[in-house]
Amino acid sequence: MKEKWVVAAKSADFKGIGKRFGIDPVIARVIRNRGLTDLKDIDKYLNGTKEDLYDPHLLKDAEKGAGIIKEKILQKKKIRIIGDYDIDGVEAAYILLKALRRCGALADVVIPDRMKDGYGINAHLIRQAAEDGVDTILTCDNGIAAVEPVQMAKDAGMTVVVTDHHDIPYEEVNGQIRYIPVNGDAVINPKQEDCPYPFKGLCGAAVAYKFVQVLYEKMGVDPAQADVFLENAGFATVGDVMDLQDENRILVKIGLEMLNHTKNPGMKALILQNGLRPGTLKAYHIGFKIGPCLNASGRLDTARRSLRLLLCEDELESGKLAAELTALNEERKDMTAMAVTEAKKVIEENGMEGDKVLVVFLPECHESLAGIVAGRLREAYCRPALVITRGEHGAKGSGRSTECYSMFDELSRCRDLFENFGGHPMAAGFSLKEENIAPLRKALNENTVMTGEDLIPKVVIDVPMPVDYITEELTDQLSLLEPFGKSNEKPVFADRNLLIRHARVLGKDRNVVRMELESANHRVIEGVYFGNPDDLRLSVAEKYGMVKAQELMEGKRMDDIRMHMTYYPDKNCYQGFETLQLKISGFC
């Protein structure tokens, strides 16, 4: 699929900013491209510490909720934490359980079963809690949309404290938005309209951490003791794909520092099981290595297994649990690959390539994989994608969106077609009757205001920078921009007319191309491309013909093949020596 390359054109006094903070003007330009203009915000971005985190008391109902839980602890009432089956829900449940037990609470945790219970608190879990003599339900990473289940718990005489971070459900009446409140005894969610908390983008585990700070204070425990949970909050922030801006950036920086020296036996075992070394972990490893293992149990088995790993104090048992989760993740990857292939076949056979919003019914797909498959389709076709599976009680689906399409808002306009739904602009989960799948596809595609331009993959180049400018110092300074992730992506640089003197295809799977490149000013530097070698072959063939492209890919030295390239400067460490190299991401 053709990409559209655009250069970020935000202006500022890059030299002045560089001088003020002791950074290269190129680094200053990247920071400006991330939307930061105020010097205080730039300082916080570069140098933010725990002291820059916001006061948890600013969260609406945090004081009230902590007061309720304190009274229940002192009265020895039975408290049940109800979490969710993804990384965020498991980490949030872990935080609350450890904290409540630290305060002497009579507390336990229930993680909903994805297949039997579905997402979050529901009628079945309320009935179970009543049978078990539970006095108080404390939710995490769910509950804000559970209007009926929460009311059911209240009617049964239970106290309900909701901690969540998802969008507040609403309905549109005569063009006016009316938010639908949940009747909890305390509702803690920064996205509530009347919540004064200055940052709205926390994940569920971060909300749980903030709540624990207030609870500890009320219980006479030093609130600083809650900081042990920064590791979990930071991990969940990456795992739940939250924006790495403002407070989240600090949470993840601190969380990564702690993760690299973790004292949690289960997390240590999971890191080692994935062939990683403590001290070298970055946000990437949470998002694509360790995190998916914690998610895999909730997808194919039960998320309680992931919670057991975090709670485990025995090294031998931790190793066993980590091995099981890693094996589950490998199985999940194989199943996902097959489902993606099937989804693409459905799209082609049903003439859906022209749809601006993909709605794909995969009745045989494991329902837990719908969101991952939707994400892969979004990447492959550069458009919002919803994948629907056949569950025990009807059809279930998950959607993944693009930046120009608010999935939560668009699904809200079709709420009559759903049994249940919830989510946020970039993702959603829902259930519906099978006969409503076709009407949903029709409605979403007829109602969308996306244009053809929105469906063209867009690569934003932070700095069009000749490779001659690259130095070791600049390459080292790029680490100041980490952690990378959503809304703080790894910067993209570009140079024109780089000569490809030589190329070799490497790797067991033949998915690495190592190149010898030469700039217009005759600087020679190594480039490496991780991906399908045919991408380079076809791009070269388009400009120079297939014969030349084939000769290049077969290792022949060339002196007339020049390509524009997007890249990221990096260091290649080999046998104790470091050399500068370019990680190539695109070419034309």
Coil, helix or strand at residue 549? helix
- Shared domain for 363 and 497, answered yes or no, is no
- Shared domain for 569 and 466, answered yes or no, is yes
Among 179, 205, 220, the domain boundary falls at 220
- Shared domain for 364 and 503, answered yes or no, is no
- 275 falls within a domain: no
Among 412, 434, 455, the domain boundary falls at 455
- Shared domain for 414 and 536, answered yes or no, is no
Going by C-alpha positions, the residue among 276, 301, 311 that lies closest to residue 290 is: 276
- Shared domain for 440 and 518, answered yes or no, is no
Please give the sequence-ordered ranges of beta strands (E in DSSP) within 322-365, or none if there are none: 358-361
Which residues 6+ apart lie within 8 Å of 43 measured at CB?
A: 21
- Shared domain for 58 and 159, answered yes or no, is yes
pLDDT score for 276: 96
Hey, how many other C-beta atoms are within 10 angstroms of the C-beta on 91?
35
pLDDT digits (tens, 9 = 90+) for 386-399: 999 997 778 999 99
- Shared domain for 385 and 466, answered yes or no, is no
Between CA 133 and CA 77 the distance in angstroms is: 9
Residue 525 belongs to domain with CATH number: 2.40.50
Among 198, 220, 242, the domain boundary falls at 220
Which residues 6+ apart lie within 8 Å of 246 measured at CB?
A: 44, 199, 201
Which residues 6+ apart lie within 8 Å of 402 measured at CB?
A: 378, 382, 383, 384, 454
pLDDT score for 93: 97
- 225 falls within a domain: no
Residue 132 belongs to domain with CATH number: 3.90.1640.30
- Shared domain for 73 and 190, answered yes or no, is yes
Residue 417 belongs to domain with CATH number: 3.10.310.30
DSSP characters for 10-31? ----HHHHHHHHT--HHHHHHH
For residue 221 the two structure tokens come to 């425990």
- Shared domain for 468 and 439, answered yes or no, is no
- Name residue 9's amino acid: A
pLDDT score for 568: 97
- Shared domain for 570 and 464, answered yes or no, is yes
Q: Which residues, in sequence order, are bridge partners of residue 280? A: none
- 18 falls within a domain: no
Between CA 355 and CA 226 the distance in angstroms is: 48
Number of domains into which the chain is organized: 3
Going by C-alpha positions, the residue among 270, 189, 283, 191 that lies closest to residue 234 is: 283
- 305 falls within a domain: no
Q: 258 φ, ψ to 5°?
A: -70, -40
CB contact at 8 A, 166 and 200: no
- Shared domain for 491 and 439, answered yes or no, is no
- 269 falls within a domain: no
Hey, how many other C-beta atoms are within 10 angstroms of the C-beta on 416?
8
CB contact at 8 A, 545 and 553: no
Structural domain containing residue 502: 5-9+459-587
- 517 falls within a domain: yes
- 428 falls within a domain: yes
- Report, as ranges of residue numbers, the positions in the chain whose pLDDT lies below 70: 1, 115, 300
The pTM assigned to this predicted structure is 0.91
- 153 falls within a domain: yes
- Shared domain for 420 and 513, answered yes or no, is no
